[in-house]
Structure 1
Amino acid sequence: MNIKSLLLGSAAALAVVSGAQAADAIVAAEPEPVEYVRVCDAYGTGYFYIPGTETCLKIEGYIRFQVDVGPDQSGHNGGSGLIGTSDWDAFTRGQVQFTAKSDTEYGPLTGVIVLQANADDAENQNTKLDSAYIDIAGFRAGLFYSWWDDGLSGETDVLASHETLHNSIRYQYESGDFYAGISVDELEDGAFKDGENPNNVGVALGLGGKAGAFTYQVIGGYDTDNEEGAIRAMGTVAIGPGTLGLAAVWASGTNSYYDQSEWTVAAEYAIQATDKLKITPGAQWFGNYMEDESSNDFSSDDAWKVGLTVDYQITDNFYAKASVQYLDGDNIDDVTSGYFRLQRAF
């Protein structure tokens, strides 16, 4: 028996033992159809269709590294909530925003979720919901920043209370470069008087727009629990190599919309030195600065602040910012503070 006969006989025997038949040939399964991500250009750049739906999604965010300099900085901004005794502190932040849009008979239906994580060090970290809201036909409901969060472009001005993120219901009418609206805000973490609970309700009105090189905004807020309110006007205009910004605020008393002083005026001039470099000096005066704890109202002291902020675009989506501020006033110690920041946006 030669080798060829042996191999053929072995193959035949194996086929009989396994019960294989000529009709039992292995057939490969049909591949599943693949739906590739499609670009959605109806709402601007960066949107794509969620596969299998007509909803468009955009994912964006930034990574920030920052070093703060000033009194009692250790642990202050990194998310731990602690105030230390160091004169500097470094922290890192990561933020991501998801924006979903789809067409309806009422216009675009928008949903936004913003997640933010801060790390002062390996152990002292926090993650929070920075915004989450639904928006349709001018109505917005959820957790979002109020008009009071808007400010001038530099870092010198203090034009709102410490917290401008609220659970709110808002209607905003828009036509071209003009908008006007009303908002009802829950003010749980705002200013409140001794003996009362921080569970305020506020009503805010706002209007603003743009006319050529001029932008403007006028807003007001009334804190129903404190029975006090504030009004703010702000505007910018392009002049020469930069943009002049002016703002003024008046408050009837300490409230959750403005609690820094009874009145204040601020000014800055943002100089666009080059395509990548912006230099912004600023100044602000505070009349009847901060709260007098004995009277639950503003003090009779005045204060002033000056500062300089420098923004530089290193390359596309990569920025550096440095800021230094000086604050002085009646019956308070002068304070110099600032920070250096690197930020990569995507």
Structure 2
Amino acid sequence: MNIRSFFLGSTAALLAVSGARAADAVVVAEPEPVEYVRVCDVYGTGFYYMPGTETCLRVGGYIRYDIGVGFLGEEDVLDKKDFVESGGVTRNLNDTYYKRARAALQLDARTETELGTLRAYTQVNFQYTTDVEDDFTTASDAVDLEHAYIELGGFLIGKTDSFFLTFSDFAGNVIQDDLIGYGPIDNTHTISYTFHGSNGFSAGVAVEEGYEEFTLDSYVPHVTGGVKYTQGWGGVSVMGGYDSVWEEWAAKARLDVKFNETFSAFVMAGLKDDDDGESNFYGPWDGDWAIWTGFTAKVSQKAMINTQITYTDSEDFIAVANVMYELVPGLRVTPELVYADNFDDDVDSDFDGSNFGGFLRIQRNF
């Protein structure tokens, strides 16, 4: 009887506790309000508002694979096996591919302010590239900060392409557009201001630091500026630049003509102070003057033909042609052919040997 009373009492106690707990109110946390990402179409496609702000952000970039052969490959490199077997005496030479795989990440943030659009832009390249060291081929990884700048009300400060290049635009839509350089061939620290008028007129000026042997060695900066007039038919522009390191100047004039919706052309001429062939930040071409010309023809909804022809007073000649073909939306394949004549002694060229080169670019944009 005592044992039975004990079990009955224990069961009653457990039921009483369970009932008391069941009677307690169940508190369920209210879900936090969901803040959906809003599309920002003020600056084009791909922008969205950063949650909780009025800043529009676009995250983009591309994956690119390049292959170069002949004049655009790696020429006259040491045959590694023959070189080792001969004890470093016989140096047989080979030609081989140039290759580069690149992943580019681009961030573009913009906000409207009382002083105009505030923009911050960054592009970082992660790449694996064929190279030549001590006449032997090698390949290595690299990280390159290509662009990092801030813009507000016409002012720009940061690292990017030289104003001497961007204001007058690049030399056509070919990949190898700077085999004969038409301005600084690498990016630089720059501080610039650009005025945009309502009638197609614009003007700008910039002070820049340079790179490598052009990097400033005093407080006197490189200075460049220009004026431009653009209309529906095309435009004209004139640029000038002073290299404060080597105390040299260079100038360019350009004409663009848009004949119709499918065909456009350009011609650009450069002139520089060429004292005994000294280096010139804004005039990297060989000799006193150079001329670039070319056209773009849209032959279908997916295909575009681009050309460039360049000639200098030192008789350097370059002809480039390609076909940009959009295989599917977002994926472009571009085969390109280059012919070079009298280019072996060009002080700005790392190439020699064959006059023909082939290049293939496969790029997926996102």
Fold similarity call, TM over 0.5:
yes
Which moves more between the two structures, 97-106 or 25-34? 25-34
CA distance, structure 2, for counterparts of residue 269 and residue 285 of structure 1 = 16
Greater shift, 117-126 or 127-136, is seen at 117-126
Q: Which has the higher contact order (CA 8 A, sep 6+)?
A: 2
Residues 20 and 210 of structure 1, relative CA distance in 2, 3 Å threshold: same
Q: Cα RMSD between the aligned structures? A: 3.0
Task: Give 2:97's aligned residue.
Answer: 88
Which residue of structure 1 lines up, in the alignment, with residue 194 of structure 2?
Answer: 172
Cα offset for 1:224?
1.0
Aligned partner (choices 107, 119, 126) of residue 110 of structure 1: 119
In structure 2, the CA distance between the partners of 1:113 and 1:72, relative to structure 1 (3 Å rule), is closer
**Runs of 4 or more above 6 Å deviation:** 8-11
Which residue of the partner structure matches residue 277 of structure 1? 303
- Contact 1:163/1:189 (<8 A) preserved: no
1:52–1:126: structure 2 CA closer, same or farther, 3 Å change rule? same
Matches within 5 A, 1:129-144: 129-144=145-160
When structure 1 is superposed on structure 2, of 227-236 and 35-44 the one drifting more is: 35-44
Find the counterpart in structure 1 of residue 243 from structure 2.
Answer: 223
SS of match in other structure, 1:108: strand
Q: CA deviation at 1:263?
A: 0.9
Q: Deviations over 1:201-257 (max 9, x none)?
A: 310102224222223322111001211011011222134752222111111133111
Between 314-323 and 220-229, report the one with greater CA deviation.
314-323
* Aligned twin of 2:293: 267
What is the SS of the residue equivalent to 2:355? strand
- AA aligned to 2:265 is L
Native 8 Å contact 1:103 1:109 kept in 2: yes
- Separation (CA, whole Å) in 2 of partners of 1:161 and 1:11: 92
Which residue matches 1:257? Answer: 282
The secondary structure found in structure 2 opposite 1:21 is helix
CA offset at residue 334 of structure 1? 5.2
**Structure 2 counterpart of 1:205, one-letter code:** G
Q: May I ask how many residue pairs the two structures share in their alignment?
A: 315
1:55 equivalenced with 2:78 (yes/no): no
Whether the aligned pair in 2 keeps the contact of 1:156 and 1:305 (CA below 8 Å) is no
Distance (Å, rounded) in 2 between the aligned partners of 1:18 and 1:85: 87
Q: Structure 1 residues 198, 308: closer, same or farther in 2, change over 3 A?
A: farther
Change in CA separation of 1:162 and 1:136 when aligned onto 2, cut-off 3 Å: closer
- Which letter maps to 2:225? L
Equivalent position amino acid for 1:188 in 2 = Y
TM-score by length of 2: 0.77
Aligned to 2:90: none
- Aligned-residue offset at 1:22: 4.5
Cα 1:304–1:74 shift into 2, 3 Å: closer
Structure 2 distance, partners of 1:341, 1:173, is 36
Cα 1:318/1:72, change in 2 over 3 Å: closer
Q: Does structure 1 retain, via aligned residues, the 8 Å contact 2:316–2:341?
A: yes
Deviation at 1:322, TM superposition (A): 1.3
Q: What does 1:1-346 correspond to in 2, within 5 Å?
A: 12-16=12-16, 20-70=20-70, 73=73, 86-120=95-129, 124-149=140-165, 150-154=170-174, 155-156=176-177, 158-161=180-183, 163-176=185-198, 177-191=200-214, 201-239=221-259, 242-253=263-274, 254-261=279-286, 262-288=288-314, 302-329=315-342, 332=345, 333=353, 335-346=355-366
* % identical equivalent positions: 31
The equivalent of 1:4 in structure 2 is: none
Post-superposition shift, 1:131?
A: 0.7
**Which has the larger share of helix?**
2
Aligned-partner Cα distance in 2 for 1:10–1:207? 96
Give TM-score scaled by structure 1 length: 0.81
Q: 1:18 to 1:175 in 2, by over 3 A?
A: same
